[in-house]
């Protein structure tokens, strides 16, 4: 029982003493707390049993609380069933125990106090719900994966249709005349010698209409048609034409840098979290869209969502027909 008082004064007590301008050390406060007499434990009727992290992730104990006064009454050195069994033997007559869902606690209660009513608190009921939903989403993961794969392929097809790569013939586009805007500025040149590249402006712009074009491919084509200048001059002229004529199609390098359309899958725990939420409360836009796709294409999820919302409402309000809810599953 002495462990209960260890951290109480050293934290908030020390802060309070400083605000009251009382000069006292943490160790003194701890010593004074240990000297205080423990409260008498009256006949217990309703007790709370939960684990308590003495050192999180390393050392856990069991804390017991009088639920009628909301005050801790004891702390056991471990969360093993044997320690709780010993404590229950010393405290017979408990009518109700609200407990952590650990199997060690249920084993101790079933063994020593089989007639005691065991109650799961709302937090652990929600944990049970989360586990059940996690199992459910794992069971339908093949259906979800198939749906997401189909949607991803659909996005890729749409991206291909927008780029025009599926339906456009390069030769036909190259033959379409494209008007060249008149410019008030001279084309920059890397060599003082004038070239005949302006003659091929229509051809160059036509080829630029195709997503995924390469500058080198265009230069090779116009060279076959009679271009006599250097590659450096041609590159500069291509950039000049693209900028001044507002060409928005992507060349090969730019296209390779574009992200591939992809739907990132959510794991079963994340799905269990979102299924009972209003989608308006899902902050991540991609996650919200993902859930909308699932709800629109997997009908059973709408029913699961209604059941989850009803269950949470019953926990929150303390009202509802739990037996009716169970039958509706």
What is the tens place of the pLDDT at every residue in 90-141? 998 899 998 888 888 989 999 998 999 988 878 888 888 999 999 999 999 9
Structural element, H or E, at residue 314: helix 300-317
DSSP type of residue 56: T
Cβ–Cβ < 8 Å for 187, 237: yes
pLDDT reading at 221 higher than 50 = yes
Is this prediction's pTM over 0.85?
no
Residue 113: closest CA among 65, 42, 39, 46: 46
Residues 6+ apart with CB under 8 A from 322: 314
User: Distances in Å between the alpha carbon of 291 and those of 37, 130, 184, 263, 281?
Assistant: 56, 17, 54, 11, 12
Torsion from C-alpha of 91, 97, 100, 105, nearest 10 degrees: 50
Window from 173-182, 189-198, 246-255, 304-313 with minimum mean pLDDT? 173-182
Instruction: Quickly state the pLDDT bin for 259 (edges 50, 70, 90).
Output: low
Cβ neighbors of 132 (< 8 A, separation 6 or more) are: none
Token readout for 215 is 């500058």
CATH of domain 39-120: 3.30.420.10
pLDDT of amino acid 258? 63
Res. 85 pLDDT band, cuts 50 70 90: very high
**Residue 182's pLDDT is what?**
46
Q: Which residue has the higher pLDDT, 253 or 311?
A: 311
Instruction: Count the Cβ atoms, other than its own, within 10 Å of residue 323.
Output: 8
Cβ density class 251-274: b for 16+ within 10 Å, e for less: beeeeeeeeeeebeebebebbbbb
pLDDT (0 to 100) of residue 168: 46
Count other C-beta atoms under 10 Å from residue 161's C-beta: 11
Q: Which two tokens stand for residue 285?
A: 């836009």
290 phi-psi bin (left φ>0, alpha ψ -120 to 50, beta other): alpha
Report the distance separating Cα 2 and Cα 9, nearest Å: 13
> What is the Cα–Cα distance from 250 to 213, expressed in whole angstroms?
8
CA separation for the pair 329, 322 (Å, rounded): 11
Residue 89: pLDDT band with limits 50, 70, 90: very high
278-307, pLDDT tens digit by residue?
A: 888 888 888 888 898 999 999 999 999 999
Order of strands across the sheet that contains 71-76: 71-76, 59-66, 46-55, 96-99, 117-120
Token duo for residue 147: 């749906």
pLDDT of 32-53, one tens digit each? 877 877 666 678 899 999 988 8
Written as one string, the DSSP assignment of 60-117 is EEEEEEETTTTEEEEEESS--HHHHHHHHHHSTT--EEEE---HHHHHHHHHH-TTSE
Q: Which range is least confidently modeled, 55-64, 154-163, 239-248, 294-303?
A: 154-163
């Amino acid at each position: 029982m002495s462990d209960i008082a260890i951290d109480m004064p050293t934290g908030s007590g020390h802060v309070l003493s400083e605000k009251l301008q009382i000069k006292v050390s943490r160790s003194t406060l701890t010593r004074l707390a240990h000297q205080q007499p423990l409260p008498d434990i009256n006949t217990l009727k309703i007790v709370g049993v939960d684990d308590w992290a003495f050192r999180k992730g390393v050392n856990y104990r069991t804390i017991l609380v009088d639920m009628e006064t909301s005050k801790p009454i004891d702390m056991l050195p471990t969360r093993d069933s044997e320690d709780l069994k010993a404590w229950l033997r010393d405290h017979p007559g408990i009518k109700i125990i609200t407990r952590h869902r650990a199997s060690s606690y249920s084993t101790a209660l079933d063994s020593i106090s089989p007639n005691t009513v065991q109650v799961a608190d709302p937090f652990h009921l929600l944990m049970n719900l989360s586990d059940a939903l996690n199992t459910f989403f794992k069971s339908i993961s093949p259906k979800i994966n198939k749906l997401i794969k189909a949607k991803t392929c659909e996005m890729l097809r749409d991206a291909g249709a927008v780029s025009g790569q599926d339906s456009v013939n390069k030769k036909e586009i190259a033959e379409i005349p494209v008007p060249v805007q008149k410019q008030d500025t001279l084309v920059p040149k890397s060599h003082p010698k004038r070239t005949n590249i302006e003659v091929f402006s229509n051809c160059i712009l036509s080829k630029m209409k195709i997503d995924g074009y390469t500058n080198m491919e265009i230069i090779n084509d116009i060279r076959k048609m009679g271009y006599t200048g250097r590659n450096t001059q041609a590159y500069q002229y291509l950039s000049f034409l693209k900028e001044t004529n507002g060409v928005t199609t992507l060349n090969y390098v730019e296209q390779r840098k574009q992200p591939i359309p992809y739907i990132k899958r959510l794991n079963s725990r994340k799905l269990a979290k979102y299924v009972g939420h209003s989608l308006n409360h899902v902050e991540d836009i991609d996650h919200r869209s993902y859930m909308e796709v699932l709800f629109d294409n997997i009908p059973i999820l709408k029913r699961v969502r209604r059941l989850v919302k009803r269950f949470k409402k019953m926990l929150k309000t303390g009202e509802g027909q739990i037996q009716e809810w169970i039958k509706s599953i």
